[in-house]
A and B are shown apart, each in its own frame.
Chain A
Amino acid sequence: MQNKIELTAISHHFETGTDRIELFNDLSFTVECGETLAIVGPSGAGKSSLLSIAAGLEKPTTGDVRFILDGNIADIRTLRANSGFIFQQFHLMPELDAISNLALPLRLKGNKAAFQLAREWLEKVGLKDRAHHRPHQLSGGEQQRIAIARAFITKPKFIFADEPTGNLDAKTSESVTSLMFECAQETKCGLVIVTHSNRLAVRASHTFRLQGGQLEQAA
């Protein structure tokens, strides 16, 4: 069945009270399930806004965004129920230990085997021994591995990652990137990544550069 997000001729800007900042103009691209797509570009180019629009979190100023799930046009709510996020700041719940953080999305969906599955994913990301450690007791790389596992654990159709290695050193970034792409390949989801890192971007099946309000496919 076909699952994709289509962005057609979208433009976006925002107001700062006195000024109007144009982000991009007349952009079009499509993300399909099973694909990985990286958006690179300088700071302030509007990468995060583009990601938010693709994820249905924001509406573009003009243009059209269509979500197609299982061959049918879906609304934002349905898309949200079938998508996951990975953040630059990890955003783990500070009061929960690693396994509870991982089990949380499953428990919210009423999955009774939440902790069993979480344990399996902890093993998969190599943090089996850290199950009962709180976020502040984990390194940045370990926190992001938990965050990646948490995004994939519910098997969403799309994952949106905002600078997932932005807070990590080069070596840790490498292992986190590998983990993310492996998970995407295994679950066959569509992965949209916004990043500054070319090393990460080249791992994606498609790479776009957002600069000066234009989106160009990178070589």
Chain B
Amino acid sequence: MSKIKLILENSIRSLKDSDGRIGLLTQTILLAFLLVLTLTSGSVQHYLADNLDQMLGSDLVIESHTELDKDKIAKLTAMTGELAQTALANITLTHKDRWARARLKLVGANYPLQGTLRLSDGLGTTEQISQNGPKEGDIWIGPRLAARLGLNVGDSLKVGDALLRVDAILLHEPDRIMEGHNVDMRAMVSHTNTTAMLGNDNRALHRYLLAANVPQRAEIEAWVSNNMPAATLIKKHGGQHPLSAFWTRTENFLGLASVLLFFMGAVALDMTNRRWLAKMRYRLALYTSFGTPMKTGITMAVGEWLVTFIATTVAALLLAFAAFGLIIGEMQNIFPGLEANPDFIAAAKTTGLVFLLLLALKAPSFIQLAQSSLLSLIRTQSEGTYIWHRLVFGLLSVSMLAVAYSDNWLLTGMTLFAVVIALALMLLLTWSIVKVGNLWGRHRTGLLPFSFFIAQQRLIAKSAQIMGLGLCGLLLLFTMMLMRDLGGMMESHARTHDGNLLVSQAHEYHVQALEEWAGQTGSSIRTLKPFVSAQLVAINGTKLDDYMQKPSDTLATLKDPIRLSWADQIPENNRLTGGTWWAQDTENWQQISTEPEVMTDMELEFGDRLTYQIEGKSYDFTLVASHAFKSGASSITFWFQVPGIARQHIEAPTRYMGSMELPETAWPALARLWQAHPSLSLAPLKELTERFDRTLAMVTKVTSGYAAMVLLLSLFVLAASVSGFRADDRLKNGLLMSMGFSNRDCLRLNFYDWGITALIAAIGAIAGTWIAGSLIYEEQFGLTYRPDLVWVSATVLMMVSTVCLIGYLACRQSLKVSVRNLIAA
């Protein structure tokens, strides 16, 4: 009992000194960050699961980009007995001179299978319940759409060739969950009007809602898997919400951010650990002199660390729950009805993970503690720094976190590669500058040569200090730079896009209409690139669903049809990044090129066989090349490209995407074009800008929060660095003053010391940022890395000044005590 009390007393005393406080704060921030991530994720997952139960509108949903033929529908109906068909398409609705993009849902006679529809007669009037969808010739529109178009119940609305009557305001659909976090304006019509309204728009999404018992579910599942490779099956029981993969990816991206934060935290902890270790070795040696076994001493040291971890957990939990409440409030904009449902088991698992990570960081210290010797109290002994232990366990810890959280291996790998190179550079610079400086100063007098001499004596500790500060500088600089450039890129992309109207999809017959309309209104078509809609269904004969288990953005995108383009030569806005592009007159049409990011994320290799489903038929292509976007020409580039000759073998309608430039006078005439072609996908620049601004605001909010965390941890590293070396500096200052040097001389020496430290750290940080920028910018964000020298210089100057200023303040503070106390410290 007395030992436990002693452990507690020691822990409280440790937490009262500056190293203890910095360590506690760092651990608390890291744990709180990961707990917030876990709790938020748990609530979102709970929300998604709850929604899946409540809002699927059926037991099973089959989703496909191609409409099922009569035989398949008959087969499905025979298997279940109850089937409702819906189709969704994005169209432009016009009323007088107003227009709005909306998601039109076409529903069959059986819709909805489960649940009810909620309607009203007008905006703000009483709600009514309906068991069926709209009748033929009627349209129900969402309240926002009604307000945007100025429509009331009873008004007429022309959609394509069909004239429809607004019969009700649509408030709720029982299968709303299938729309996920889509906040597009909505409208609903009867399925019988399909052809009149959509023409041959293959981008329509077809859904088949099925009511099925357990054996029927299994039978349908097997049948869909064998007969509809491009279809997705969503189950109410034991299934996954359509948004769950999206959320896992978001969570994993934040995971990468947490890996970097953890890296910084590890540096701060390593710095505070230096003095902790010296103190504990002394304490253990003393305990041994009382006859206490070394094992007891180490157990007590571990006990003290555990007490600190418990204190960390309590503080982090309080902080995390407060932040969790605030974040859930913010996220209700994305997930309406989301509630704060803390998942305590997940929180405990995260705490366990952080416990293991911190233990891995502390393990070298515990190993070193076992080397404590009573002899050190009798005569001075050299103490190993165990730098390799620290590095190995530190990297092990960061890797464990990366494995647990990151799914984007390319990004994680590149980030860690840049960090490791920067660290190696800083190490090399430190050793070279200090060694050369010492050589230069050997036959010289003065404070600068002395400063190099001292640095040489503390070379290993100095290297650790420089690497820590440099790493923080790197992460801080990179985060700030990325924030600035990403914001700038998004803004400039929105504003400098070719033309002011994006043509996101047009059919052959639309092209003619567009050309005519452009001629009439004085508009010009800037670019129009052809493609066919294709869905990747298998890689090397393995179905896409079975091919990869880890969540990935690329995989999620490939589950929907993509645009497959063709070209004989590499387009002028592309460059070859690997493999061999086909010859211009090639006869081998089954070749394909893709972007390097797709290759990495999907773990593709040249020679792999990619199977696509296009208009219900399968086509195989062999991966032979990879291409990447090159700026300077059109901004439209395709993920997948095949030889021009391949087009002759593919039976599918050609579609186009491109851009147009409209004069001011042409905009009012756009309503006319849409009225005639509602399925023509056009996005005005203004609308794009608004979307970008919304996204930009969200990105800015997330990156600002992240930058604040990085800044906070940088301060901890700086504080730990100053605090960890304070005792050494006090002794050095005391000795100098005892030899007749003035306060001013001590301050000058201190300035040299911190100046050298900060400068090497800054060079390392810039080099690391440059490497990370060159690697990551183009690969991950499609940006060309062009560092702004003025901005980088200013940031470095600020970093060096801050470090020197804090070092100066700490030195001035330590000089306030007497020489005797300085030496005795």
A interface residues (Cβ-Cβ under 8 A, vs B): 48, 51-52, 55, 57-58, 77, 80-85, 87, 89, 91, 93, 95, 104-105, 107-112, 114, 136, 150-151, 154, 156, 162
Structural contact, A51 and B290, CB atoms closer than 8 A: no
B398 CB to nearest chain A CB (Å): 33
Q: Which residue of A lies closest to B288 (CB)?
A: A80
Give the residue of A57, A77, A162 whose beta carbon is less than 8 angstroms from that of B293.
A77
A4 CB to nearest chain B CB (Å): 18
- Bound complex: CA of A81 vs CA of B374, how far in Å? 13
The B577-636 residues at the A interface (CB cut-off 8 A) are: none
Q: Do A81 and B293 contact each other (CB < 8 Å), given the known contacts A48-B378, A91-B377, A95-B13? A: yes
The 7 closest A-B pairs by CB, nearest first: A105-B290, A85-B289, A81-B291, A107-B2, A108-B292, A162-B378, A57-B375
Q: What residues of chain A lie closer than 8 Å to B3, measured between beta carbons?
A: 107-108, 110
- Bound complex: CA of A104 vs CA of B6, how far in Å? 9
Q: Is B373 an interface residue (CB 8 A)?
A: yes
B interface residues (Cβ-Cβ under 8 A, vs A): 1-3, 5-6, 13, 282-283, 286-293, 296, 373-375, 377-379, 824
A129 CB to nearest chain B CB (Å): 23
- Bound complex: CA of A162 vs CA of B289, how far in Å? 12
Structural contact, A154 and B290, CB atoms closer than 8 A: yes
Structural contact, A114 and B377, CB atoms closer than 8 A: no
A99 CB to nearest chain B CB (Å): 13
- In the complex, which of the residues A52, A95, A151 has the most CB atoms of chain B within 10 Å of its own CB atom? A95
Q: Do A85 and B296 contact each other (CB < 8 Å), given the known contacts A91-B286, A110-B3, A154-B291? A: no
B282 CB to nearest chain A CB (Å): 8
Q: What residues of chain A lie closer than 8 Å to B6, measured between beta carbons?
A: 104, 107-108
- Bound complex: CA of A13 vs CA of B282, how far in Å? 26
B734 CB to nearest chain A CB (Å): 15
- Bound complex: CA of A105 vs CA of B287, how far in Å? 7
Structural contact, B283 and A108, CB atoms closer than 8 A: no
- Bound complex: CA of A114 vs CA of B5, how far in Å? 13
Q: What residues of chain A lie closer than 8 Å to B291, measured between beta carbons?
A: 80-84, 105, 109, 154, 156
Q: What residues of chain A lie closer than 8 Å to B289, measured between beta carbons?
A: 84-85, 87, 91, 151
Q: What residues of chain B lie closer than 8 Å to A104, measured between beta carbons?
A: 6, 290
- Bound complex: CA of A107 vs CA of B292, how far in Å? 10
Q: What residues of chain B lie closer than 8 Å to A93, measured between beta carbons?
A: 283, 286
A32 CB to nearest chain B CB (Å): 19
- Bound complex: CA of A92 vs CA of B296, how far in Å? 19
- In the complex, which of the residues B2, B293, B296, B373 has the most CB atoms of chain A within 10 Å of its own CB atom? B2
Q: What residues of chain A lie closer than 8 Å to B2, measured between beta carbons?
A: 107-108, 110-112, 114
Q: What residues of chain A lie closer than 8 Å to B282, measured between beta carbons?
A: 91
Structural contact, A150 and B290, CB atoms closer than 8 A: yes
- Bound complex: CA of A39 vs CA of B1, how far in Å? 41
Structural contact, A57 and B286, CB atoms closer than 8 A: no
- Bound complex: CA of A151 vs CA of B5, how far in Å? 22
- In the complex, which of the residues A48, A81, A83, A93 has the most CB atoms of chain B within 10 Å of its own CB atom? A93
A14 CB to nearest chain B CB (Å): 11
Structural contact, B290 and A52, CB atoms closer than 8 A: no
Q: Do A85 and B293 contact each other (CB < 8 Å), given the known contacts A91-B286, A93-B286, A114-B2? A: no
- Bound complex: CA of A24 vs CA of B570, how far in Å? 84
- Bound complex: CA of A81 vs CA of B290, how far in Å? 7
> Can you list 5 A-B pairs with a CB-CB distance of less than 8 A?
A80-B293, A89-B377, A91-B282, A91-B289, A110-B1
- Bound complex: CA of A59 vs CA of B130, how far in Å? 93
Structural contact, B283 and A109, CB atoms closer than 8 A: no
Q: Do A52 and B377 contact each other (CB < 8 Å), given the known contacts A80-B288, A104-B290? A: no
Structural contact, A57 and B292, CB atoms closer than 8 A: no
Q: Do A58 and B375 contact each other (CB < 8 Å), given the known contacts A107-B3, A108-B292? A: yes
- In the complex, which of the residues A85, A87, A110, A151 has the most CB atoms of chain B within 10 Å of its own CB atom? A85
Q: What residues of chain A lie closer than 8 Å to B293, measured between beta carbons?
A: 77, 80-81
Structural contact, A51 and B378, CB atoms closer than 8 A: yes
Q: Do A52 and B378 contact each other (CB < 8 Å), given the known contacts A57-B373, A105-B291, A108-B6? A: yes
Q: What residues of chain B lie closer than 8 Å to A162, measured between beta carbons?
A: 378
Structural contact, A52 and B292, CB atoms closer than 8 A: no
- Bound complex: CA of A57 vs CA of B378, how far in Å? 10
- Bound complex: CA of A151 vs CA of B291, how far in Å? 10
- In the complex, which of the residues A58, A84, A108, A109 has the most CB atoms of chain B within 10 Å of its own CB atom? A108
Q: What residues of chain A lie closer than 8 Å to B824, measured between beta carbons?
A: 136
B403 CB to nearest chain A CB (Å): 40
- Bound complex: CA of A87 vs CA of B380, how far in Å? 13
Give the residue of A85, A108, A112, A154 whose beta carbon is less than 8 angstroms from that of B374.
A85
Q: What residues of chain A lie closer than 8 Å to B288, measured between beta carbons?
A: 80
A75 CB to nearest chain B CB (Å): 12
- Bound complex: CA of A151 vs CA of B377, how far in Å? 14
Q: What residues of chain A lie closer than 8 Å to B377, measured between beta carbons?
A: 85, 87, 89, 91
Q: What residues of chain B lie closer than 8 Å to A84, measured between beta carbons?
A: 289-291
Q: What residues of chain B lie closer than 8 Å to A87, measured between beta carbons?
A: 289, 377-378
B634 CB to nearest chain A CB (Å): 70
Q: Which residue of A lies closest to B282 (CB)?
A: A91
Q: Which residue of B lies closest to A163 (CB)?
A: B378
A191 CB to nearest chain B CB (Å): 15
- Bound complex: CA of A80 vs CA of B288, how far in Å? 7
Q: What residues of chain A lie closer than 8 Å to B286, measured between beta carbons?
A: 91, 93
- In the complex, which of the residues B286, B290, B379 has the most CB atoms of chain A within 10 Å of its own CB atom? B290
Q: Which residue of A lies closest to B16 (CB)?
A: A95
- Bound complex: CA of A74 vs CA of B536, how far in Å? 77
- Bound complex: CA of A206 vs CA of B461, how far in Å? 47
B2 CB to nearest chain A CB (Å): 5
Q: What residues of chain A lie closer than 8 Å to B373, measured between beta carbons?
A: 57
- Bound complex: CA of A95 vs CA of B17, how far in Å? 10
B817 CB to nearest chain A CB (Å): 12
Q: Which residue of A lies closest to B285 (CB)?
A: A91
Structural contact, B292 and A105, CB atoms closer than 8 A: yes
Known: A48-B378, A108-B287, A150-B290. 10 other contacts (CB 8 A): A81-B293, A83-B291, A84-B289, A85-B374, A87-B289, A108-B2, A108-B296, A109-B290, A109-B292, A112-B1
Q: What residues of chain B lie closer than 8 Å to A110, measured between beta carbons?
A: 1-3
- Bound complex: CA of A80 vs CA of B374, how far in Å? 10
Q: What residues of chain A lie closer than 8 Å to B283, measured between beta carbons?
A: 93
Q: What residues of chain A lie closer than 8 Å to B5, measured between beta carbons?
A: 107
B280 CB to nearest chain A CB (Å): 12
Q: What residues of chain B lie closer than 8 Å to A112, measured between beta carbons?
A: 1-2
- Bound complex: CA of A107 vs CA of B282, how far in Å? 18
Q: Which residue of A lies closest to B6 (CB)?
A: A107
Q: What residues of chain B lie closer than 8 Å to A151, measured between beta carbons?
A: 289
Q: What residues of chain B lie closer than 8 Å to A107, measured between beta carbons?
A: 2-3, 5-6
B16 CB to nearest chain A CB (Å): 9
Q: What residues of chain B lie closer than 8 Å to A83, measured between beta carbons?
A: 291
- Bound complex: CA of A95 vs CA of B291, how far in Å? 21
B723 CB to nearest chain A CB (Å): 16
B764 CB to nearest chain A CB (Å): 33
Q: What residues of chain B lie closer than 8 Å to A150, measured between beta carbons?
A: 290
A131 CB to nearest chain B CB (Å): 16
- Bound complex: CA of A52 vs CA of B376, how far in Å? 11
Q: What residues of chain B lie closer than 8 Å to A57, measured between beta carbons?
A: 373-375, 378
- Bound complex: CA of A111 vs CA of B5, how far in Å? 12
Q: Which residue of B lies closest to A162 (CB)?
A: B378
A187 CB to nearest chain B CB (Å): 14
